[in-house]
Structure 1
């Protein structure tokens, strides 16, 4: 498979970005190619197109499978393994959030919970625990919010994202309603 200049730029860029996101360049490029291919690809096609060794492609595929960012598929009449990414970009986003949470956030929350349960031995430990408590509360609040957002439909999330800072006006209006007992402020028309 020969990549167009546009596709090649995308694949190369994803390799560079992959290294910034915590995966190696090879994994990023494999993912990018599978994402834009429009059809499932087998390992031989990945090796040929990306000019990677078979072992590097195999290791990259295993990592992408572990992240649940690609899935194994079989084509009728072909005994080879093929791989594809989820077709829905929102599904990809959801899987990424879940995997990051499982791999990074949950272990951090566990460590913070354990640290907060220990007895502070001195003022230095009390200060450290207070800072850890603040971090724990922020992460808990953020993950709770992400859980709520993940239950929304993609259309609702898009609408919410498009609101951006306008949400602040809605919250301010709700606060004014609370202060006036649900009655509209006659001076605000």
Structure 2
């Protein structure tokens, strides 16, 4: 007897399960990551019941996970002619998915930290903090602001250019040393 999860090929099942494990390491619920992986591999819109059946998870868990993926801008709702159910799909372009993840994580995690550091440094009480603590906060703000600006620049690059840049790796370090 085959179970719904058996409708995935062994390779696809392995990818979906691994993506779920990775999701939990990234701070995302395992089912959320597995649903995203399933939609990515399927390359077509799927409704919640189908997702629940294939992954053998509760329908309520699928609904909650789909809401989270929608809030993260990783999936969108689509409607199919003749079917009143909501269907969900994710982008097929791995580079656009990468950009979405980076943008969303930056907005939710990085930018608030930069904002709090700016507020701390601007607070009149900041002058009362020990000099070494003030220096560390300022250095952290400078670093995070520079990383934020660099990240924005990287997100604007075309995928081919970004791939070339990533492949340069240690060659950039050598180039910078030669021009220093």
| Alpha-carbon offset, residue 173 of structure 1 | 4.2
Which structure has the larger Rg over C-alpha atoms? 1
Task: Name 1:46's counterpart in structure 2.
Answer: 51
Instruction: Please show how residues 21-170 of structure 1 align to structure 2 within 5 Å.
Output: 21-118=26-123, 119-120=125-126, 122=128, 125-170=130-175
Q: Report the TM-score, using the length of structure 2 for normalisation.
A: 0.91
Q: Quick check: 1:120–1:126 contact (8 Å CA) kept in 2?
A: no
| Structure 2: gaps of 5 or more residues | none
| Structure 1: gaps of 5 or more residues | 176-189
Q: Please, what is the CA RMSD of the aligned residues?
A: 1.5
Any idea what SS the aligned residue of 2:80 has? coil
CA distance in 2, matches of 1:7, 1:155: 27
- Looking at secondary structure, tell me which structure has more strand per residue: 2
CA distance in 2, matches of 1:57, 1:163: 41
Q: Aligned residue pairs: how many?
A: 174
CA distance in 1, matches of 2:19, 2:113: 27
Q: Quick check: 2:40–2:89 contact (8 Å CA) kept in 1?
A: yes
Q: Quick check: 1:15–1:25 contact (8 Å CA) kept in 2?
A: yes
Task: Name 1:186's counterpart in structure 2.
Answer: none
Task: Name 2:12's counterpart in structure 1.
Answer: 7
CA distance in 2, matches of 1:148, 1:26: 32
Following TM superposition, the consecutive aligned residue runs of length 4 or more in structure 1 with deviations greater than 3 angstroms are 172-175
Q: Report the TM-score, using the length of structure 1 for normalisation.
A: 0.86
